[in-house]
Amino acid sequence: MIAEALAAPDSTSTVAAWQRELQESFRSPAALAAHLGLEPCPPHVPTAFAFRVPRAFAARMRRGDPADPLLRQVWPAPAETHEASGFGPDPVGDLAAARGDGLLHKYHGRVLLTLTGACAVHCRYCFRRHFPYAGQTASRGAWTRVQEALHADPSIEEVILSGGDPLSLPDARLAAIADDLAAVPHLRRLRIHTRQPVVLPSRVDDALLAWLSRFPLPTSVVLHVNHANEIDAALMAACAALRRTGVHLLNQAVLLRGVNDSVADQTALSVALFDAGVVPYYLHLLDRVRGAAHFHVPEEAATTIMMQMRDRLPGYLVPRLAREDAGAGAKTVIA
């Protein structure tokens, strides 16, 4: 089913609203700076990791403030060019776990499927900013092999759709992928890791909701929200629509210096997430990817933040502080 869907162009020539919005994204720091009234334009550097910010996300940034926490996540600062010991191109061992055709198998019972290298926003701390997507995605010609691999391994109970951002794909393709996954007899759960509804809430449209609603297995959508300022009325409406399909909404944040590295920031984030119907799930220490060392928060400081959060919040609003170590059999929960 999916082999044909991926090999053929979309059956409709209509461009979805979210796709039009994506085409109108800011593609240069200078354009975004001008939009935000940042004059003169803050220092930035051209890098191989391209710049992209949807206008819906930029609308939540504070005008005239170069220290805005949302802006800092996407701004290509000169510090990206600084070499730092222990920061490399593959910080979590993705390539060692690659099984070909977009499959990453790190943990027992779960397999990650890299569907695309495309994202709606290019976060500067991205742990896959150096990932060789060209040879490590479930390409159109590889889907039959992916299906065979999933059917052949009865230990796989959960598939995680990842990328890039899997919601960068059109819904006709995603629906076909979901149909084929539902046919794997030992599969019990589907998980979708995405930042797209956060930075581009229009992505949660009728077509997306339709295939999620009819998918027969329990499904979790793991969002990526790092700061309470990212949660506006549009995102709350998108989350409400997703919940009505029956999916579970979780959040994974990354602890970032100068963005959300205070107990006030983290407390506000957890409260805002729960108000939006999203469970705070993980707070990750920064993956040590080359070009992102300026975002690093030491583990001791992170643990202190977590201890203070427990004094302020009920337990269900406190995420688990964790880090991912290359080659480990599971994430390391720190606090």
- 166 φ/ψ sector (left φ>0, alpha ψ -120 to 50, else beta): alpha
253 lies in a domain? yes
pTM: 0.94
DSSP output for 183-246: T-TT--EEEEE-SHHHH-GGGS-HHHHHHHHH--S-EEEEE---SGGG--HHHHHHHHHHHHTT
In a domain, 45, yes or no: no
- The reported pLDDT for the residue numbered 14 is 81
The domain in which residue 324 lies consists of 2-16+82-333
The tens-digit pLDDT sequence of the chain (335 residues) is: 433 333 333 444 588 999 999 999 999 999 999 999 999 999 999 999 999 999 999 999 999 999 999 999 999 999 999 999 999 999 999 999 999 999 999 999 999 999 999 999 999 999 999 999 988 888 767 899 999 999 999 999 999 999 999 999 999 999 999 999 999 999 999 999 999 999 999 999 999 999 999 999 999 999 999 999 999 999 999 999 999 999 999 999 999 999 999 999 999 999 999 999 999 999 999 999 999 999 999 999 999 999 999 999 999 999 999 999 999 989 999 99
Give the span between the Cα atoms of 107 and 124, in whole angstroms: 26
Confirm whether 215 is domain-assigned.
yes
Tell me, yes or no, whether 32 lies in a domain.
no
Number of domains in the chain: 1
**Residue located via tokens 């992505």:** 203
Query: Is residue 146 one of the residues assigned to a domain?
Result: yes
Query: For residue 41, is it within any domain?
Result: no
Other C-beta atoms closer than 10 Å to the C-beta of 294 total: 18
**Using N-to-C axis directions, what is the helix angle for 233-244 and 206-214, rounded to 10°?**
30
Task: Give pLDDT, residue 142.
Answer: 85
pLDDT for res 136: 87
Other Cβ atoms within 10 Å of 24 Cβ, number = 10
Domain membership of residue 119 (yes or no) is yes
pLDDT value of position 2? 38
Beta carbons of 334 and 301 less than 8 angstroms apart: no
Asked if residue 104 is part of any domain, the answer here is yes
Tell me which H or E stretch contains 333.
strand 332-333
Cβ atoms < 10 Å from Cβ of 99? 13
What CATH code is carried by the domain that includes residue 136? Answer: 3.20.20.70
Residues 6+ apart with CB under 8 A from 76: 29, 44, 45, 46, 47, 49, 51, 124
